[in-house]
Chains A and B, each alone.
Chain A
């Protein structure tokens, strides 16, 4: 099981990396007036804050759902989880400037850990 999960990560992470690069090139193309570094930071920012945490949130269902389905819903799931957590831990006293490091790391780590959690039965 663990080996399968690891193999899946090995297959899918390069695809996400490739999507990042293609998106970077295309966004630079459509935002022609912008400097490359600004575009790079913007695309990296979106991937870091929303896309990658979303991918790992959805990773638990990697056997049941196809990659692109998980990827797209992951953007929404990442947004909802990051948004909710940022709101509540902000109220708890942790300044938002730390959330950009803390939350993606926690969600990526949590996603990997839960992904490795053995699923005896994928149904309810």
Chain B
């Protein structure tokens, strides 16, 4: 089971946090809360306000739109940022496929977090650009 040191190691291995020095990673590890969800529980809910940002530590989740699974998420993946950044409800459910452990940041704290860690903001922008590129390629 992960202690804070292991969580710092996990974060340091993720592209999102790859530019941060160890004390900053410690700060991030303590800023994010850890949560656990039972199999079948929803973490993001399509159409509901007040969602948050999540990074998967352990387990597996499905992105589900109108009851249909579209993709799977696993350790190291992050989700929820689009809804938080736009201030709109999620357009998909994220459902735990087995017991899921996540690090989470409250939606209202995301802006200040990204401003405090601009390298994380840049990495997130890159990740979103990659997703956009993949979508454009898929559509063309």
- The answer to whether A and B belong to the same complex is no
| Chain A residues with a Cβ under 8 A of chain B | none
